[in-house]
Amino acid sequence: MSLVVKICGLSTQSSVEAAVDAGADMVGFVFFERSPRHVSLGKACELGKSARGRAAIVALTVDADESTVCDIIDALRPDLLQLHGGEPPERIEYLRAKFKVPLMKAVGIAGRADLEAARKYVNADRILIDAKAPADAAHPGGNGFAFDWRLLEDFVTPAPFMLSGGLDASNVGEAIRVARPGGVDVSSGVERAPGLKDEAMIAAFVRAARAAAA
């Protein structure tokens, strides 16, 4: 299976076009108001038009209530719903059954004990292994922190896993070599400033990931 490359936290037409033109498999829109990458639902729908059919559209939420999830799915029609909060396994099972949309659950990792949490999400379609956010972090992801990828050597999850956390064009090749993920996800690693994507950095990241996978 080929490596999946996801560019997350997109908020402008130029960054969406850059991601798609570079060959990203997934583009992600963040629905979390405390994030510098947050976009309104209307804006995400507008941005998603140019990506639809060219890359999978991912909607990222953080402990969102059912009404919010319903609004996002009805308006955006995402190909994948990413849950990046403290949603328990039973929440994944419920949402997947109710909305019939594939789900990806993010799990923060700092040490080996955290890997057990990932194994509990047997109903997720994908697992996103991310660096565990510090206790004082304003948001659970997109913080630019990495973790020891060696923790994932021989790691087996009930669903295909993607890797995130502190990745950029300079280190994604090593991360792929060590962790052997089914995909990689980047946000802050392709930004000039928080929430401001750099089109050249997006292209460089995708190239580096593809070269490593090859």
Q: Is the pLDDT of residue 49 over 90?
A: yes
Exactly one of 8, 25, 168, 185 is catalytic; name it.
Answer: 8
**CA distances to 11, 48, 72, 73, 165 from 86, in Å:** 24, 26, 19, 20, 17
Q: Is the pLDDT of residue 139 over 70?
A: no
Across the range 114-143, mean pLDDT stands at 77
pLDDT tens per residue across span 70-95 = 999 999 999 999 999 999 999 999 99
- For residue 140, name the pLDDT band (cuts at 50, 70, 90): low
Exactly one of 25, 130, 168, 185 is catalytic; name it.
Answer: 130
Cα(first)–Cα(last) distance of the chain, in Å? 11
Q: Give me the pLDDT at residue 156, please.
A: 83
Residue type, 49: K
> What pTM value is reported for the model?
0.93
What one-character DSSP code corresponds to residue 75?
A: H
Q: Give me the pLDDT at residue 144, please.
A: 65
Task: Identify whether 148 is a catalytic site residue.
Answer: no
Q: Give me the pLDDT at residue 134, please.
A: 57
Task: Phi first, then psi: give them for residue 198, nearest 5 degrees.
Answer: -115, 120
Which residue ranges form the domains of the chain, and what is each CATH number? 4-213 (3.20.20.70)
Q: Give me the pLDDT at residue 143, please.
A: 53
Task: Identify whether 8 is a catalytic site residue.
Answer: yes
Residue 106 contacts by C-beta under 8 Å, 6 or more apart in sequence?
A: 82, 83, 84, 127, 128, 130, 140, 141, 164
